[in-house]
């Protein structure tokens, strides 16, 4: 298996623009998680899905952030409009039955 | 509130020494713990996990110890190598299927 695949690896965008981050989980995994990592706050959970259904989105910073999982093999995290304080590394992870979480390589987002 | 933290932000050791990285957690309901290693520019990589019904688990060169009485978790790395240099995170969840909560991380530096 290729592991959890995230795209793009790097994204530089201007403030106010829409940004879409993508994730392909490991085939067969039933949980998908989005985390954000910054030096100040460490790894923060944004949202997670079980069998494509959002379970907990209490970590989503504000309405500018949205996430979808239209099927078991794809998820997106969208920021609209983006702001400089959204600059961070965004990780997607998947797991089978809530154990053995596997992380992707992350998307480094820079908003200028 | 719930939190997972590490006692020391940095640890420097000599190659060949044994390393011990500590973690304190506050949620007594937590029943699953994982240690992750994160190298620069990469996503967190699973090292070893332990459930609350165990107090010790061994892997290849790594041992995790869990002391539920004082809510303390440690990762021991035997014969530390330069390739072990990374940031180490402990993570917990309180119910199977919920998301992991991460501590801030300890940076391990190994000098040869």
Contact (CB<8Å) B42/A97: no
At A80, is the secondary structure helix, strand, or coil? coil
Model pLDDT for residues A11-66, shown as the tens digit of each residue: 999 999 999 999 999 999 999 999 999 988 889 999 999 999 999 999 998 899 99
Q: Judge whether B32 and B16 are in contact, CB under 8 Å.
A: no
A49 touches chain B (CB under 8 A): no
Residues 6+ apart with CB under 8 A from A62: none
Rounded CA separation B91/A14 (Å): 34
Q: Is the pLDDT of residue A112 over 60?
A: yes
Distance from CA of B42 to the nearest CA of A (A): 5
Give the closest of A4, A42, A101 to B100, CB-based: A101
Residues A58-80 have a mean pLDDT of 95
Average pLDDT over residues A84-105: 93
- CA–CA distance, B44 with A34 (Å, rounded to integer): 13
pLDDT tens-digit readout, B27-49 = 888 889 999 999 999 999 999 99
């Amino acid at each position: 298996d290729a592991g959890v695949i995230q795209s793009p690896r790097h994204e530089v965008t201007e403030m106010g623009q829409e940004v879409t981050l993508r994730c392909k989980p490991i085939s067969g995994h039933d949980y998908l998680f989005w985390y954000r990592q910054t030096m100040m706050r460490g790894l923060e959970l944004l949202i997670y899905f079980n069998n494509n259904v959002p379970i907990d989105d209490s970590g989503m910073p504000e309405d500018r952030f949205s996430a979808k999982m239209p099927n078991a093999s794809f998820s997106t995290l969208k920021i609209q409009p983006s702001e400089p304080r959204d600059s961070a590394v965004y990780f997607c992870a998947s797991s089978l039955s809530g154990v053995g979480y596997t992380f992707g390589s992350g998307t480094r987002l820079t908003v200028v | 509130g719930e939190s997972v933290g590490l006692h020391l932000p940095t640890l420097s050791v000599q190659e060949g020494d044994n390393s011990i990285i500590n973690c304190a957690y506050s949620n007594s309901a937590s029943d699953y713990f994982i240690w992750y290693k994160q190298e620069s520019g990469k996503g967190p990589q699973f090292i070893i996990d332990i459930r609350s019904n165990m107090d010790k688990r061994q892997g290849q060169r790594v041992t995790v110890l869990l002391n539920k009485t004082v809510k303390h978790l440690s990762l021991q790395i035997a014969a530390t190598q330069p390739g072990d240099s990374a940031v180490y995170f402990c993570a917990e969840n309180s119910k199977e299927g919920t998301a992991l909560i991460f501590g801030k991380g300890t940076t391990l530096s190994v000098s040869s």
